[in-house]
Chains A and B, each alone.
Chain A
């Protein structure tokens, strides 16, 4: 395994170094937040997840061992687990907010915002594991090997999820264009 680029920073965080803490927040918070926002389709819930992820970072920094996994891989896994907890809870008790999220296309948005909104809805419309695969490789920029490690699947399985996910997105977005 290549050296972990975050190893030194995490070690300094574990000793309570305030500059390192600030640096880790600057480096990782945007990544965690965008991952959670795209997985959940709800910015407020994504913020809660981001806070929970960082609580775990502060709690576990001293015990962190770079030999077992890269810090970024571990961080993605923690964030995804927290997202899945919330997605599971949503299925058990669908709230008004969730329904509103899926059924609210009619807001007056500028064209670029509208495109972003359509993609967001399409992402929420595909299977969770396909969404996870696309977010990790396309938006988070993880390599196929890193994404497969986070998802605990083989690279073959990852490619299958990606291809099916992109096909499903294309179908939803094409239908959306036809209806629009």
Chain B
């Protein structure tokens, strides 16, 4: 409600019924129009009735948070964020460990001695195994057929 509702004594009374006597608590869009009615005798009477209930409502006091409650809530936060930090630290540690493994593997590849075995045909004895000469053996089987 608000912007599209014309201000008249009925609407003024409805607003006082809902929000009380202080026009500052009423919807923004209706305050200016309501201020004019508030100056009339009818408006003043409506506000006076609403104000009686406001005065009673204002007498209701709630104790502020105790030091104990504040400390408890702060302790919860400290524990919660400490746990989060530990989890983050562990994740970080695992990340560092993983990165270490990767770096190690790369270093091992780069720094290992360049000795390797070639099975190329140009290498003498490359076709020789513990079971003899593979190439010549297969040749001889073909010949037998």
Residues of A within 8 A of B (CB): 13, 16, 18, 21-22, 25, 29-30, 33-34, 37-38, 43, 47, 50-51, 54-55, 58-59, 112-113, 115-116, 118-120, 123, 134, 137-139, 143-144, 155-156, 158-159, 162-163, 166-167, 169-170, 173
Q: What is the chain A residue whose CB lies nearest that of B69?
A: A47
Chain A residues, Cβ within 8 Å of B102: none
| Cβ-defined contact, A155 with B2, below 8 A | yes
Cβ–Cβ contact B18 & A54, under 8 A: no
Contact of A51 with B27 in the complex, beta carbons under 8 Å: no
Question: Would you call B73 and A29 a contact (CB within 8 A)?
Answer: yes
Contact of B53 among A30, A112, A166 (CB under 8 A): A166
Q: Quick check: B60 and A123 within 8 Å, CB to CB? A: yes
Main secondary structure of the interface of B (DSSP, over half): helix
- A73–chain B nearest beta-carbon distance, Å: 17
B interface residues, Cβ below 8 angstroms from A: 1-2, 14, 17-20, 25, 27-28, 53, 56-57, 59-66, 69-70, 72-74, 76-78, 80-81, 84-85
